[in-house]
Structure 1
Amino acid sequence: MRRPLARSLTALAAAALISPLLAGCGSDEPAGLVIYSGRNEKLVGSLIDKLEESLDTRVEVRYGGSAELSAQLLEEGDATEAGLFLSQDAGALGALSKEGRLAPLPQTALEKVEPAYRGAAGDWVGLSGRVRVIAYHPDKVATPPDSVHEVVKPEWKGKIGYAPTNASFQSFVTGMRVLEGDDATRTWLKGLKANGKPYDNNLAVMDAVDSGEVSLGLVNHYYWYERVAEKGEDELDVRIHYLAKSDPGGLVNVAGVGMLKGADPEQSAYARKAVDFLLSAESQRYFADKTKEYPLAAGVTSDVKDLPPFESLTKPEIDLGELDSLKGTLAMLQDVGMV
């Protein structure tokens, strides 16, 4: 039976201390695979249950923020008990790759995903994709902006919502830093802060646009499709707009997976099987249907109504592994007074 090792990372040191106790309670059966998951349990818990059945071994999971877990894995080094890292974004995987903490993935797994959505060193692979979009209230906005650079213009003052503490927003800011440099990004952030209203998360931004509290919002695409599935499009006063070609606001980031270097042979074998399972049609359909994200494995497409085909997205060209400089992004957000 699967047991979370720790529900959150509010106290990583404490979690590290109690991990041995957790490994010895509840079942005499040792875990075949230990996963550190930056994906929320509500999103992937049932998928991990299916993974456990597929592996026919007990799976233990520690849930937390992807950046926090990545830092923890770097600290643990070869002493980590984890065999697999499931990340919410590519940056956390890129950070581990650069420090040599990920093991090479089988070529058969890598070849299932386009090169743009897997690690250049062949040690992590994307599982699902999400694109940044602009949410807008159609009664308040006749023509949504085609670039995030437009939302810092005077006409949008007080009309734009964003979630500065959200990991996806921070990854987008990191992407802008990679694409346009720190000076341009800092200037843009100052303009957004002057024009915008901060919210706790993307759902709060969506609700603010829906209610007319703000006219625009910076979010990931799937939040709108989840709202549509929940309430119906006719019940919503919010729509989304995909940005123009190469605009940094249209970043496509991925959730992905990597195997940890230094795991014992048995756990490494389970980790390889887990990667294959997560790239299987069953798992890819789960991401498409449950989370409304884009499946990334070849041969699997989304059936979500009105979702643009993945190949049609006019996304900026960026090495997703370069989204690892989160510390610099957090420092910049603090410097401009956003967090």
Structure 2
Amino acid sequence: MGGCRVLCQVWGGWWRGPGVGSARKVAGFGTEARRQLQPRGSSNRSGSLGNQPFPGLLHPENLSREELVDVLRASVVDQKGKPGELTLFSVLPELSHSLGFGEQELQVVRASGKETSGLVLLSSCPQTASRLQKFFACSRRAQRPTATYWAVTDGIPATSEGKIQAALKLEYVDGVGSVVPVKSPSRKDILEGVKRTLSHFRVVATGPGCALVQLQPLTVFPSQLQVHMVLQLCPVLGDHMYSARVGTVLGQRFLLPAESTKPQKQVLDEALLRRLHLTPAQAAQMPLHLHLHCLHLPGTRPRDAPIELLAPLPSYFSRTLQCLGLRQQ
């Protein structure tokens, strides 16, 4: 599977330009069935992650083009092949040259959402990119999950696992896009861009008023997982776009009308803030705790075992798990 690169993206702002975690290179893409990707200098030891509210959170707006290329190049975790606004796309030519591809173009094969951390799959080989895109498309038609996300949620889902199904559409108000659910969509709605979406979820760990949830989308739609968790009345921690749709009266949560609820900074209750050791002002800057943890890819040849790529958690995500007592299983 020539010409592939996998980046471990530590913080989103994907379209604006991600902060990317430093992770080691692994030669020979497609030679192992499972790989755990660890950042340089990482340790399996548990313990204090310091007093920073969001350790490991990078700010792309503070980087030059050259510095962003260096960060991206250092973030390659798997490879095979020849050694206006700042965004990942805008520096792909420099990244390609830095990785030894010369004039070959890098293209994005698979990536997480705009503000989601985790894996980014790039390819300089059109045939490889096409093969992978066909694999992902076939997997979606067969409802086989190829991506696994981890999310920390404000609230605990009512059931420990299940499916979330919702018809969603993308609406624009004053130039800002927002995803809203559509009840009982008609055939006309489907033709006009409404899509039926589906995700699997499983609660991995729980704490007082919070949970670590594994999510596997079986369809592709912008902000699908964030909106699905809001529909479960458990918005993802750091979701400053959709969390305001969940209201609370006398301790009972309910959904507010999506069409009339404007995005706002997520508001957390005092008990959760204390456990996170955050002030309300710090919580308003909290990054989205949604991480593309695992990608399943086909082997290099038809008879080869499938490949499983695992991305380490960003430091701020690990800190949150420690503060909330949510243990990974």
What TM-score range do you get, normalising by the shorter chain? under 0.3
Give the structure with the larger helix fraction.
1
| TM-score, structure 1 normalization | 0.27
Between structures 1 and 2, the one with greater strand share:
2
Higher relative contact order (CA closer than 8 Å, sequence separation 6+): 1
TM-score (ref. length: structure 2): 0.28
